[in-house]
Amino acid sequence: MVDQGVEPWVCLCYGNPIYPGGGDTGLGGGLVASEEALQAWERYVDAFVRRYGEHVDEWELWNEPRTGLGKGAIQYADFVIRTAEVIRKLQPNAEILFAAGGSFHPIFAKEVLEHLKEEGKLDLVNAIIYHPYAENPDSRNDAAVKLREMAQSFAPHIGIRQGENGAPSVTGGFGAISGGTWTETRQAKWALRRLLGDLARDIPSSYFAICEMKYPDKINYKGLLAINDDKTIDHAKQGYYAIQNLASVFDNTLLRIQDLDFDVNTENADRKIELSAYRGPSGGGLITYWRANDKPGEKPDFESMKLQASNLKFEEPILVDLLTGRAYKMPLDTCKPIGQGTMFENLPVYDSPLVVVEQNEIERSLE
């Protein structure tokens, strides 16, 4: 993995039932609790960091600790302190991430931070990991921003990271949000909206997972690669190629435009348009947008909208659909200069991200 250029972060979990109070070996099995087990846990963490520290310097402390609020949050906070102190002795500059409860529980995260503050240990942690599962990924964006604001009210250096999120491609599997109606196309739209929504808010983000997860009697269909019964890869799903399209355009050379002055008018006044803008290394602009009201795939019809970007000029814009990877020339009467900005008329919009981008920026990204 490292030889391929991947910089992994590692989640340190779960328990070891050979110790009384040592927790269990899976999700929801309970934290390491007894003193004997905690000392064994510390030895394990020490050995793990010594072995892999050359390649790993980001450590997540347990996956979705389901200890509850109050005493449960304090128990987890004490666990974080003990674990983080072992890591910091070996890696003083490590990135240490703690969990927002069982999935995404801001109150739990706040109680952990309050206990860390009382103990004078806020300097041990760098970020909160959260898993914002929802059938409409855009419905959790405001809560994520509030989580970051809460974290930074305790200490400016504490950020957030979206550490696990994905959607199934098949109806009837198991795991988070598996109860909805899903297809490969819905999954692909969901993934694009999740990742671009995080990018627009400067939130480090991930997609879960690269391939389907087969258990003895069930399958988690969130993977971007479909698997056979023997767990070999069957095919790459539509979402795999959609994320590939996204990554080819939204690389680390883009700078987000934080002061974009824009106005949107849609055919229906109740439409919510998610929109963000960026500037490429050649100076060209890029705007991505989609209709965010509904779950991906629930209302897939195209509509038209008017977009005025008052402080972003375009010379030769093209339209890219990240779902398909297709790029389209824009009719001359669609794009008009206005002062220091641009007016777009009859711009298509639907429930998956589209991108208006200067042609030279796309040509650069494909070189």
- Tell me, what CATH number does 325's domain have? 2.60.40.1180
Sequential DSSP letters for 74-88:
HHHHHHHHHHHHHHH
User: Please, what's the b/e burial string for 220-252 (b: 16 or more CB within 10 A of its CB; e: otherwise)?
Assistant: bbbbbebbeeeeeeeeebbbbbbbebbeebbee
- Choosing from 202, 223, 249, the residue where a domain stops is 249
Domain co-membership, 105 together with 236: yes
Residues 286 and 166 in one domain: no
Domain boundary among 249, 276, 305: 249
Q: Are 25 and 121 found together in one domain?
A: yes
Helices 71-90 & 106-118 angle (0-180, nearest 10)? 60
pLDDT for the residue numbered 364: 64
Report the CATH number that the domain containing residue 106 is assigned in CATH.
Answer: 3.20.20.80
Same domain, 225 and 319: no
Burial class (CB in 10 A: 0-12, 13-18, 19+), 215: exposed
Please, what is the Cα angle at 305 between 303 and 306, to 5 degrees?
A: 165
pLDDT of residue 269: 84
- Would you say 343 and 308 are in contact if contact means Cβ atoms under 8 Å apart? yes
Instruction: Say what the pLDDT of residue 226 is.
Output: 98
Q: What is the pLDDT of residue 310?
A: 95
Q: Tokens for 313, please give them.
A: 């000029």
CB neighbour list of residue 67: distance below 8 Å, 6 or more residues apart: 30, 31, 73, 75, 76, 101
Q: Is the pTM of this model over 0.75?
A: yes
The residue out of 225, 249, 273 marking a domain boundary is 249
The pLDDT of residue 202: 98
Let me know whether 259 and 195 are in one domain: no
The answer to whether residues 183 and 327 belong to one domain is no
Same domain, 172 and 209: yes
Count of domains for the chain = 2
Residues 201 and 339 in one domain: no
Q: What pLDDT sits at residue 29?
A: 86
Residues 259 and 168 in one domain: no
How many angstroms from the chain centroid is the CA of residue 17? Answer: 32
Residues in Cβ contact with 63 at an 8 Å cutoff, skipping those fewer than 6 apart: 11, 13, 14, 27, 99, 164
One domain, residues 178 and 50: yes
What residue type is 224 in one-letter code?
Answer: L
CA of residue 127 relative to chain centroid, distance: 14
C-beta separation of 209 from 166 below 8 A: yes
| Each residue's pLDDT expressed in tens, for the chain with a length of 367 residues | 889 999 999 999 999 999 999 999 999 889 999 999 999 999 999 999 999 999 999 999 999 998 878 899 999 999 999 999 999 999 999 999 999 999 999 999 999 999 999 999 999 999 999 999 999 999 999 999 999 999 999 999 999 999 999 999 999 999 999 999 999 999 999 999 999 999 999 999 999 999 999 999 999 999 999 999 999 999 999 999 999 999 999 999 999 999 999 999 998 889 999 999 999 999 999 999 999 999 999 999 999 999 999 999 999 999 999 999 999 999 888 999 999 999 999 999 999 999 999 998 887 655 5
- How confident is the model at residue 366, as a pLDDT? 56
Supply the range of the domain harboring residue 117: 2-249
Tell me, yes or no, whether 238 and 314 share the same domain.
no
Same domain, residue pair 219 and 345: no
